[in-house]
Structure 1
Amino acid sequence: MTTEPTEAPQVEAKTFKAEVQQVLQILAHSLYTDREIFLRELISNASDALNRMQFEMLTNRDVHDPEVELAIRLSADKEARTVTITDTGTGMTREELIDHLGTIAQSSARAFVEKTKDASKATASEMIGQFGVGFYSVFMVADKVTVVSRSYRPEAEAAIWESTGDDRYTIGSAEREERGTSITLHLKEDAAEFANDWRLEQIVKRHSDFVAFPIYSGDRQINQRKALWRRAPREVEAEEYQNLYRQLTFEPDEPMLHVHLSTDVPVDLHSVLFIPGKRERGLIERRVEGKVRLYSRKVLILEEAKDLLPAYFRFIEGVVDSEDLPLNVSRESVQSSPVMQRIRKTLTSRLHRELNDLADKDATAFKSFWQEFGVFIKEGIATDYESRNELLKLLRFETTRSDGELMTLNQYKSRIIDGQQEIYYVLAASPEAAATSPHLDPFKARGIEVLLLTDLMDGFMLSGLREYEGLKLRNVDEADLELPGEVVAPEPQISEAQFTPLAERLTAILGEKVKTVRASKVLRDSPARLVSDDDMMGREMQRIQQMLGREADAAPRILELNLSHNLVAALAQRVEVDANDPIVTAAAEQLYDNALLIEGLHQNPAAMVPRILQLLEAAARTQRDQA
């Protein structure tokens, strides 16, 4: 049983070196951003001491208190405003207390201070990886810290170390029967919240729930110890995965898929990753992005480790644990290292493989995944060239021949017609708009399948998808496409002599919106279309601008008219009668806006309403006059 520590008469006051005191100031005010991590640091240190004790006892039973349980105990005293953490680890002698707590890498402290004089707080944090000073995070919440320790060595005596975080500390003899260390924090007034057992348990659950040794509050163990992700997948039941997912996310719904990885090579890595059931989740705060928590030796290091996966996998939830990670002193960020790169590559590769397996084995489940998260895979095509081949297998598209089902690029390739050397796509605001696009006229006539691209992300995706297995991707709005197959052209309803004044009038009406107006060689069922030539920013880039929330004026394009269409013939007749007919003006502007609307590029569709009413009124008046 541990007695209340009392200082023996032989108490010696010591002074920290000036540069060490400066380091303490940096640690207390710059390094840590979350005050509650002081407990995580102390538990981590206690766990290390217990690990060392466990290893020592494998070969040496001649230790103090050989039968005592290897454990950590927490207690809080509201009235005294104290928190005490006790372990039964290796403990420390008087000399070891001075070495471990009275010295902070003295040989390099001065150099560190010099380097951080002009550095930002974030930069300073990154530079402290060489210092093992997590213990000093206690001064964020305490104005005095008392450490009483007794070494496992049978002949060792207990010692006490005490500091108020200024430039001095004291060291002396103490009375303690039990092996190990007790650290008592005398809390600042603004940190009184931590002098509560429930608050300490909350912190343990968040940061240290899976420490390998039991953590007790009173007689009750408050940590789980056995981390699910460190167990073999064959030992874990489906319900256990669901419980972990709910614990991590507070989501009532089950995840769509879990990926459990436990390996020692090429890097020590234990992880469970989840693909949520839905993209948007959260009962109170609606969110899309998930969190991947980073542990080291089952101690939480980062609540959200964004660098562990590429950005297009940011919807993933889960846990990653590795003993190979080089950590900075705060354990709040991980230094850039080859180990991190190997972890990232291993996790990314495994997710690619699992998703491709899901696509091969369960088309229905993968369709659900694609509907929720396909937009992220498209982002990956544009941003992750190294993983492009794996991501290409995951791409799914609706097409003009898929009847609403999703198809792969490989399936599209297997259905191309004789002589087809390209993959064709149409950009539109919706599948319904794409299906009615005037650009599809010549493709329908030839039986050529076209991909329907209707997400804003599609324009961004195309920046990384210019060809597939030797087939170039081509936008159906390009001005001079040479299509395979022969079709009979429809008979025109107006002559070239009638078309010329119509083209001139429409060019005058639309002005800088169009480069020119010309007769179409390919339109069959639609009256008009806008086509692009090579010297302009493509619609893909316009859609990217829209995706980024930037205004993007439609660049001038070529307006093609279908000379066999009734509407074009009627407009030509009106121009013959009166070139300034207001109905011609309204119809020309509406034809142009219709084309933009179908393609999802119209900036203000509501502006069309007065013009549509004008055209409806004219049509109704004509019908009445004819009656």
Structure 2
Amino acid sequence: MAEDTTTKATDMDQKTFKAEIQQLLNILIHSLYTEREIFLRELISNASDALNRLQFEMLTKRDVLDPEAELAIYIEGDEENRRLIIRDTGIGMTAEEMEENLGTIAHSGAQQFMQAMKEAGQEAKVSAADIIGQFGVGFYSVFMVAEEVTVTSRSYRPDAEAAVWRSTGQGTYTIGPADKADRGTTIEIKLKEDALEFARPHRLRQVIKEHSDFVAYPIYLLEEKFAEKEEEKGKKEWTQVNQQTAIWRQNPKEVDEEKYKAFYHQLTLDFGDPLLRIHTSADAPVQFYALLFVPSKKDYRLFGLKEDYGLKLYNRKVLIQEHFKDLLPPYLRFIEGVVDSEDLPLNVSREAVQSTPVLSKIKSALTRRVANELKNLAEEKPDTYRTFWREFGGFIKEGIATDPDSKDKFVDLLRFPSSRSENEDDLVSLAQYVGRMKADQKEIYYILGDDYDVTARSPHLEYFRKHDLEVLFMTDPMDSFMLVTLTEYDGKPLKNVDDAGLDLPEEKAGEEKPAEALSDDEFKALVARVKQVLGDRVEDVRDSKLLTDSPCRLVNPPDAVNTTLQRVQRLLDKEYQIPKKILEINRRSELIRNISARLSANADDPLIDPLVEQLYESALLSEGIHPNPAEMLPRIQLLMEAAARMK
């Protein structure tokens, strides 16, 4: 497997790394040490990508250099000379492509990496292995073990010239032409003295098996041959190390749990185990294999910096696209995995593949399968499903909000705390709610809020608690968007408890009647004063038929935009003005009766107006609407001073 890679030294140009790359190299060389083996994973990953790209070109173009050369990766360690060589027969690079790929980092990868490392330095738990592959800086990890790196490459284009790139990672690099006859890229690493382990075949085998066992191309390692005869001792041969199995094409019964986990770890670089695995295939109406995973955490990548999503799309084990977004709807973007279909036309371009009818059929089948598997998870492993819902429930709500056609597939996955919950993790499904509705209850009740504890104390709930009517708590910002399309379930409308037109069960004969309350004259006088103080800030002031303990609440007028849409508008536009509401007063409340008594005793009492203002703004707060603190705080201080003077 030897090759001629003679360099034309006289034609070499010396260049300087950009400042951010030099900073990056300093971090890699001086700060990261304990997990240096990941450099090999990164270089193998780059080689695999080069082979993917070359294979795709071979499907669409005939004019390729060395078309008969095996698509493979070759790794050779030379302990005596402290040398490691990694070679692939992939797409290769021209001098210009070397300059672009090795001299700069796209998308500000270096800056993002360094910010992540800075933050990681404050979190002792962070692993370097979690960081390096995420920012387009994987190649530079080689300098953790290298004194010098030489990259020689020749492009797949027959007329392209070979080029060589060389650097010690100390601020400069050289680039120039080279004599290389075969296609692909060779990376020759002069190892540091303390990195000699990476020239030993047994150590290289260990790292390859751990990190790159499922790479889709053969990885050959030059190893000493087992000698049965004396004359064979010391002879070396190329041995394939990796399994190279397209695990998604195997029968699930033939794949054990450890293989699934190993594949997931290699696919995602997530060192945790997935919550759910979906291994499926179909022959009609479209042929495909799929292996999908639900991670255990939403932001399993460090700091949640995942910039792209989508499944790996293969055609007959050929990678067509790394992050293909049209195999699942956007709200299922948290799912990782691969899809392989033989029904995709081989000569299609990466861009045109999106419009093939095959994909819409695969997408529909996968979406249906994901929904069914999640339903099974909820029924068979409720504890695991609770974890899923905590991490990914917002995505399901997003799907119901944005994809009404798929609503019926996912609506039974919804979970909410309710007025009967012991805590915010005690969740109920819509089916469970309907199953325990009262016989004369016609509607599903919910309340919108920003926080579970605050919502649980809302005055809107008092009537419902008194009559043992369950209310769902909607405290996720996505709930407001979801409720625009989710208007009924099982034929029963969903109604906000602040809706003035609720169809509530009738009072039963013999139910306890409220005790003392303001007389009609007292209440009329108080309402007049409240209207005078609040003016046009409220639509009306009236008696409440639902409050039992709280002094007041705000409700929407019958013709107003409902609270759900108001919240959506507030989320979309911070300048949105909440429509005027009706202030309902509980004439049985002790606070209301005391204010009325003050009014009856002295209409000029200086505390009456501040008390009315505070009643109104407290009601606003319970609705999640924040009054002006510059006005509220002095008023609260005034009322506290008055209370402190009382004997």
TM-score range for the pair, normalised by the shorter chain length: 0.5 to 0.7
Tell me by how many angstroms 1:266 deviates: 2.5
Look up the equivalent residue of 1:470 and give its one-letter code.
G
2:436 to 415, 427, 436: 415
1:441 and 2:452 correspond: no
**Residue of structure 1 equivalent to 2:159:** 163
**Residue of structure 2 equivalent to 1:197:** 187
Which secondary structure state, in structure 1, belongs to the residue aligned with residue 607 of structure 2?
A: helix
* Structure index of larger Rg: 1
1:41 and 2:59 correspond: no
Flag the 1:450–1:391 CA change in 2: closer, same or farther, 3 A: same
Superimposed CA distance per residue, residues 120-163 of structure 1 (whole angstroms, 9 cap, x where no aligned partner): xxxxxxxxxxxxxxxxxxxxx9998687xxxxxxxxxxxxxx43
Look up the equivalent residue of 2:554 and give its one-letter code.
L
1:214 and 2:218 correspond: yes
Name the CA distance, whole Å, in 2 between partners of 1:75 and 1:246.
23
The aligned runs of 1:262-277 (5 Å cut-off) are 262-277=281-296
Superimposed CA distance per residue, residues 337-386 of structure 1 (whole angstroms, 9 cap, x where no aligned partner): 21110111111111101000011111111112112211221222222222
Name the CA distance, whole Å, in 2 between partners of 1:285 and 1:356.
27
Superimposed CA distance per residue, residues 251-291 of structure 1 (whole angstroms, 9 cap, x where no aligned partner): 22211111111233322222221111122322355559854
Tell me by how many angstroms 1:483 deviates: 1.4
Flag the 1:548–1:303 CA change in 2: closer, same or farther, 3 A: farther
1:255 and 2:255 correspond: no
Tell me whether 185-194 or 523-532 shows the greater mean CA deviation: 185-194
1:450 and 2:471 correspond: yes
Tell me by how many angstroms 1:221 deviates: 4.3
Name the CA distance, whole Å, in 1 between partners of 2:72 and 2:346.
26
Tell me by how many angstroms 1:607 deviates: 6.5
Name structure 1 gaps, 5 residues minimum. 6-33, 51-68, 77-81, 88-140, 148-161, 165-183
Say whether the 8 Å CA contact 1:258–1:275 is kept in structure 2.
yes
Name the CA distance, whole Å, in 2 between partners of 1:459 and 1:86.
50
Name the CA distance, whole Å, in 1 between partners of 2:70 and 2:153.
27
Superimposed CA distance per residue, residues 433-477 of structure 1 (whole angstroms, 9 cap, x where no aligned partner): 222211122222222221121111111111111111121111111
Flag the 1:238–1:74 CA change in 2: closer, same or farther, 3 A: closer
The aligned runs of 1:378-397 (5 Å cut-off) are 378-397=397-416
Tell me by how many angstroms 1:334 deviates: 2.6
Superimposed CA distance per residue, residues 78-107 of structure 1 (whole angstroms, 9 cap, x where no aligned partner): xxxx998399xxxxxxxxxxxxxxxxxxxx
Superimposed CA distance per residue, residues 31-81 of structure 1 (whole angstroms, 9 cap, x where no aligned partner): xxx99966433234568999xxxxxxxxxxxxxxxxxx99335689xxxxx
Tell me by how many angstroms 1:536 deviates: 1.5
Say whether the 8 Å CA contact 1:460–1:540 is kept in structure 2.
yes
Which secondary structure state, in structure 2, belongs to the residue aligned with residue 279 of structure 1?
A: coil
Look up the equivalent residue of 2:493 and give its one-letter code.
K
Flag the 1:369–1:573 CA change in 2: closer, same or farther, 3 A: same
Which secondary structure state, in structure 2, belongs to the residue aligned with residue 334 of structure 1?
A: helix
Flag the 1:146–1:214 CA change in 2: closer, same or farther, 3 A: closer
Name the CA distance, whole Å, in 1 between partners of 2:422 and 2:540.
36
Say whether the 8 Å CA contact 1:288–1:315 is kept in structure 2.
no
Number of paired residues? 485
Name the CA distance, whole Å, in 2 between partners of 1:198 and 1:144.
15
**Residue of structure 1 equivalent to 2:500:** 479
Look up the equivalent residue of 1:450 and give its one-letter code.
V
**Residue of structure 1 equivalent to 2:317:** 298
The aligned runs of 1:75-154 (5 Å cut-off) are 85=89
Flag the 1:514–1:230 CA change in 2: closer, same or farther, 3 A: same
Name the CA distance, whole Å, in 2 between partners of 1:192 and 1:276.
46
Say whether the 8 Å CA contact 1:146–1:185 is kept in structure 2.
no
Flag the 1:192–1:510 CA change in 2: closer, same or farther, 3 A: farther
Name the CA distance, whole Å, in 2 between partners of 1:606 and 1:455.
29
Tell me by how many angstroms 1:507 deviates: 2.0
Tell me whether 466-475 or 349-358 shows the greater mean CA deviation: 466-475
Tell me whether 459-468 or 604-613 shows the greater mean CA deviation: 604-613
Which secondary structure state, in structure 2, belongs to the residue aligned with residue 303 of structure 1?
A: strand
Two-structure CA RMSD over aligned residues (Å): 4.1
Flag the 1:483–1:47 CA change in 2: closer, same or farther, 3 A: closer
Look up the equivalent residue of 1:214 and give its one-letter code.
P
**Residue of structure 2 equivalent to 1:517:** 541
Say whether the 8 Å CA contact 2:220–2:240 is kept in structure 1.
yes
TM-score (norm 1): 0.68
Name the CA distance, whole Å, in 1 between partners of 2:73 and 2:545.
83
Name the CA distance, whole Å, in 1 between partners of 2:389 and 2:71.
47
Say whether the 8 Å CA contact 1:292–1:317 is kept in structure 2.
yes
Say whether the 8 Å CA contact 1:197–1:217 is kept in structure 2.
no
Say whether the 8 Å CA contact 1:400–1:435 is kept in structure 2.
yes
Name the CA distance, whole Å, in 2 between partners of 1:197 and 1:74.
11
2:390 to 351, 355, 371: 371
Tell me by how many angstroms 1:294 deviates: 2.0
Flag the 1:524–1:303 CA change in 2: closer, same or farther, 3 A: same
Which secondary structure state, in structure 2, belongs to the residue aligned with residue 335 of structure 1?
A: helix
Say whether the 8 Å CA contact 1:281–1:288 is kept in structure 2.
no
**Residue of structure 1 equivalent to 2:615:** 591
Which secondary structure state, in structure 1, belongs to the residue aligned with residue 353 of structure 2?
A: coil
1:557 and 2:581 correspond: yes
Say whether the 8 Å CA contact 1:289–1:314 is kept in structure 2.
no
**Residue of structure 2 equivalent to 1:507:** 531
1:239 to 258, 262, 265: 258
Flag the 1:146–1:335 CA change in 2: closer, same or farther, 3 A: closer
Flag the 1:251–1:607 CA change in 2: closer, same or farther, 3 A: farther
**Residue of structure 1 equivalent to 2:71:** 72
**Residue of structure 2 equivalent to 1:158:** none
Which secondary structure state, in structure 2, belongs to the residue aligned with residue 559 of structure 1?
A: strand
1:572 and 2:600 correspond: no
Name the CA distance, whole Å, in 1 between partners of 2:355 and 2:316.
19
Name the CA distance, whole Å, in 2 between partners of 1:401 and 1:84.
62
Say whether the 8 Å CA contact 1:73–1:217 is kept in structure 2.
no
Flag the 1:146–1:484 CA change in 2: closer, same or farther, 3 A: closer
Say whether the 8 Å CA contact 1:418–1:484 is kept in structure 2.
no
Which secondary structure state, in structure 2, belongs to the residue aligned with residue 515 of structure 1?
A: strand
Flag the 1:329–1:543 CA change in 2: closer, same or farther, 3 A: same
Tell me whether 214-223 or 335-344 shows the greater mean CA deviation: 214-223
Flag the 1:41–1:417 CA change in 2: closer, same or farther, 3 A: closer
Say whether the 8 Å CA contact 2:152–2:185 is kept in structure 1.
no
Look up the equivalent residue of 1:243 and give its one-letter code.
A
Say whether the 8 Å CA contact 2:72–2:89 is kept in structure 1.
yes
Identity of aligned residues (%): 41
Name the CA distance, whole Å, in 1 between partners of 2:156 and 2:480.
62
Name the CA distance, whole Å, in 2 between partners of 1:438 and 1:417.
22
Which secondary structure state, in structure 2, belongs to the residue aligned with residue 529 of structure 1?
A: strand
**Residue of structure 1 equivalent to 2:418:** 399
Tell me whether 596-605 or 395-404 shows the greater mean CA deviation: 596-605
Name the CA distance, whole Å, in 2 between partners of 1:347 and 1:489.
56
Flag the 1:70–1:441 CA change in 2: closer, same or farther, 3 A: same
Say whether the 8 Å CA contact 2:551–2:592 is kept in structure 1.
yes
Tell me by how many angstroms 1:429 deviates: 2.1
Say whether the 8 Å CA contact 1:72–1:216 is kept in structure 2.
no
Say whether the 8 Å CA contact 2:542–2:585 is kept in structure 1.
yes
Look up the equivalent residue of 1:235 and give its one-letter code.
E
Flag the 1:192–1:505 CA change in 2: closer, same or farther, 3 A: farther
**Residue of structure 2 equivalent to 1:355:** 374
Tell me by how many angstroms 1:530 deviates: 0.6
Name structure 2 gaps, 5 residues minimum. 6-45, 63-67, 76-85, 92-150, 166-173, 179-183, 190-203, 223-237
Name the CA distance, whole Å, in 2 between partners of 1:272 and 1:495.
70
Say whether the 8 Å CA contact 1:83–1:187 is kept in structure 2.
no
